[in-house]
Amino acid sequence: MSTKDKATVGEDQHGIESEDTETVGKPLLAAEKSRMTCRNVFVYYGEKMAIDNISLDIGKNEVLSMIGPSGCGKSTFLRCLNRMNDTIDICRVDGDIKLDNQDIYDQKLDVVPLRARVGMVFQKPNPFPKSIYDNIAYGPRIHGMVDSKTDTDEVVETSLKRAGLWEEVKDRLDAPGTGLSGGQQQRLCIARAIAVNPEVILMDEPCSALDPIATAKIEELIDELREEFTIAIVTHSMQQAARVSQRTAYFHMGKLIEVGKTNKIFTMPSHQLTEDYITGRFG
């Protein structure tokens, strides 16, 4: 039975049968190309399974976007990549996730350096209620990357410049970060994340709380950052996924349905569910 037939059984029913769990497309990359590798990842919230056997690679210097209807587990999966799920007591992660061939769920590995290597930008801009300067300087300080005021000044300046925020805030570095506009706050959060020079940046719907102009700025920024960082971005906007990413992964009810080159996914999806989603039939 083809997937097409099944999906037409009922327009509202988008459940997937067991034989469909095989991900369509190319979730895996060649070893030398990938930054993070995930194999057979399962995530449970208590008894409830939120991620069901996902294997996916994230390449070096690529932007991977993750799309899918809400509640399908995009955030959950993203938060596995820097072990933010550790903070949720009932959450349990199974499987094998590696960063540069190092198991990040290794008992001996400390999450602190991991999170310095895998930074995160959240859905709602969440600058610390401190000055702009201190927001950026916080990461380098706690990780011992800066010794002197001049070091710190330099890191703050370069980070803000890389995040395209320097010109707007250079005269008021002592002003509270929470006093900026939403878009500026989000760029401040990005600057804060890149201040510790991570290898991977995870972004969970970074533009969902922003207006179109601020969104455009962030998208532009993501494109620039790709040169230095690997970026995994969750988004509910397909246009955004199409604009910023090279590869796109489509999630559905905890399963990874399809992965492929972004333009292929949006023009010629192979799986019925993907097609239904990108043509706006649900989600």
Partner 1 sequence: MSNKQDRKSVAAAVEKGLARRKAKEKRFQRAGLAAVITALMMLAVLLISIVSTGMPAFTQTALKLDFHYDESLLPAGQTLNEETIRAMDFHGLVKKTLREKFPQVKKRKDKKALYKMVSNGTPYILRDMLMEDHALLGQIKSIWVLADDEVDSIFKGSKTIADSRLTEAQYGWVTQLVAEERVMTRFNWTFFQNGDSREPEQSGIRGAIMGSLFVIIVTLALSFPMGVAAAIYLEEFARPGRLNDLIEININNLAAVPSIVFGLLGLAVYINFMGMPRSAPLVAGLVLTLMTLPTIIIASRAALKSVPPSIREAALGMGASKMQMVFHHVLPLAMPGMLTGSIIGMAQALGETAPLLMIGMIAFIVDIPQGLLDPATVLPVQIYLWADVPEAAFRERTAAAIMVLLAFLVVMNLLAVWLRKKFEKRW
The least CB distance from residue 267 to partner 1, in Å, is 35
- Residue 133 has a CB neighbour count (10 Å cut-off) of 19
Q: Does 252 bind ligand ADP (CB under 6 A)?
A: no
Contacted entry of Mg ion, ligand ADP, partner 1, none for residue 27, CB cut-off 5 to 8 Å set by kind: none
Q: How far apart are the first and last CA of the chain?
A: 24
Out of 59, 69, 176, 283, point to the residue binding partner 1 (CB under 8 A).
Answer: 176
Question: Which of the residues 82 through 111 are near partner 1 (CB under 8 A)?
Answer: 82, 84, 87, 89, 111
Q: Are 174 and 137 in contact (CB under 8 A)?
A: no
- Region from 14-22, 32-40, 66-74, 219-227 binding ligand ADP, contact rule CB under 6 A: 66-74
**Rounded to 10 degrees, what is the CA torsion of 241, 246, 250, 255?**
-140
d(CA 232, CA 248): 10
Interacting residue with ligand ADP among 24, 38, 50, 93 (CB under 6 A): 50
45 contributes a contact to ligand ADP by CB under 6 A:
yes
How far apart are CB 186 and ligand ADP at their closest, in Å?
Answer: 18
CA angle 125-126-132, nearest 5°? 100
Report, in Å, the least distance between residue 224 CB and Mg ion. 25
- Output 121 or 173, the one with its CB closest to Mg ion: 121
In whole angstroms, the minimum distance from the beta carbon of 78 to ligand ADP comes to: 8
71 interacts with, out of partner 1, ligand ADP, Mg ion, none, CB within 5 to 8 A per kind: ligand ADP
Q: Which of 71, 113, 129, 179 binds ligand ADP (CB under 6 A)?
A: 71
Nearer to partner 1, 95 or 176 (CB): 176
Which residues contribute to the site for ligand ADP (CB under 6 A)? 45, 50, 68, 70-76, 88
Which residues contribute to the site for partner 1 (CB under 8 A)? 82, 84, 87, 89, 111-116, 119-120, 122, 124, 126-129, 138-139, 142-143, 176, 178-179, 189, 192-193, 196
